Copies of this chain bind each other. A is one copy, B any other.
C-alpha cells in the first residue's frame, strides 16, 4: 500500500501488528478514527495505555486484575474452599458467564506442552499446591481442555495434589445439551456412554 502520509502508515502498521488484523482492515480503522473527533482517538489511546499500565495478576489466583487481588477473590460471597483450575482468563470468563459457579479460581497460564517448551515450572502449579497446603481449599475442580497437553497437565496436577487432603474433580464431559447424537464426535459419544449417570426426573 502506498501511503502519502507517514502518520497514517505508522498507525496502520500499529493496528496491523495486532492478531487477525490485516493492513486493509487497519487502514479502515485508521480512517474511521480520523473521521471522528480528535477526542475519540485520544480517549482510545489513553484507555489502552492505562489498561496495560494498570493491569496485573491476582496474587491469589493469577487471574488478571486491577488490584493486588482480583474481584472474584475479594468477593466475600464466593466460596474459597472450591478452586476451579483453568488455563486462562478466557476460561474464567466463560465459566463466570454461566452464573453457575460460586467458588474461586486458579489460572495456570497455559498447559504443559513439551513441544512448545512449556514445563510445569512455567505454570502456576506450585502456587496452586501451596494454596491447597494452606488448608482452606477442600475441592480442586480441574476445568482444563481434554487435549493431550490438557490431560498431561491434569495428570501432573493430580499427582502433585494426591498427598494432600483435598477432593479432586473434573468438569463433566459428554454430549452437549441440545446437541444431536449423530453429530457428536465419536470420542465424546463413546465416553458419554461409558460414563453414563443415573437418570433423574427433573423437578418441574
* Contact assessment for A50 and B96 in the assembled complex, using a CB-CB cutoff below 8 Å: no
- The reply to whether B11 and A51 contact each other, CB–CB distance below 8 Å, is yes
Label chain A's interface by main secondary structure: helix
Please tell me which one of the listed residues B17, B20, B30, B41 contacts residue A49 in the complex, with CB atoms under 8 A apart.
B41
The digit string for A22-51, where 1 denotes a CB below 8 A from any CB of B, is: 000101111111100010111111111111
CB distance B29 to A19 under 8 Å?
yes
* CB contact under 8 A between A34 and B64, given known A4-B71, A49-B45: yes
- B45/A90 in contact, CB under 8 A: no
Using Cβ atoms and an 8 Å threshold, which residues of chain B touch A92?
A: 4
A residues at B contact (CB < 8 Å):
1-8, 10-11, 13-14, 17-21, 25, 27-34, 38, 40-55, 63-66, 70-72, 88-90, 92-93, 96-97
Identify the closest chain B residue to A19 (Cβ): B32
Check A66–B6 contact: CB distance below 8 A: yes
- Of all chain B residues, the one with the shortest Cβ separation from A36 is B52
Having A13-B47, A33-B52, one finds 11 other A-B pairs with CB under 8 Å, namely A4-B70, A4-B92, A4-B93, A5-B71, A11-B48, A14-B43, A14-B48, A27-B93, A33-B51, A34-B55, A45-B52
Q: What chain B residues lie within 8 Å of A31 (beta carbons)?
A: 88-90
Can you report 26 A-B residue pairs in the complex whose CB atoms are below 8 A from each other?
Answer: A2-B97, A4-B64, A4-B71, A4-B96, A5-B64, A5-B71, A7-B50, A7-B54, A8-B64, A10-B50, A11-B48, A14-B43, A20-B25, A30-B51, A31-B89, A31-B90, A33-B48, A33-B52, A38-B52, A38-B53, A41-B48, A41-B49, A42-B53, A45-B45, A45-B46, A45-B49
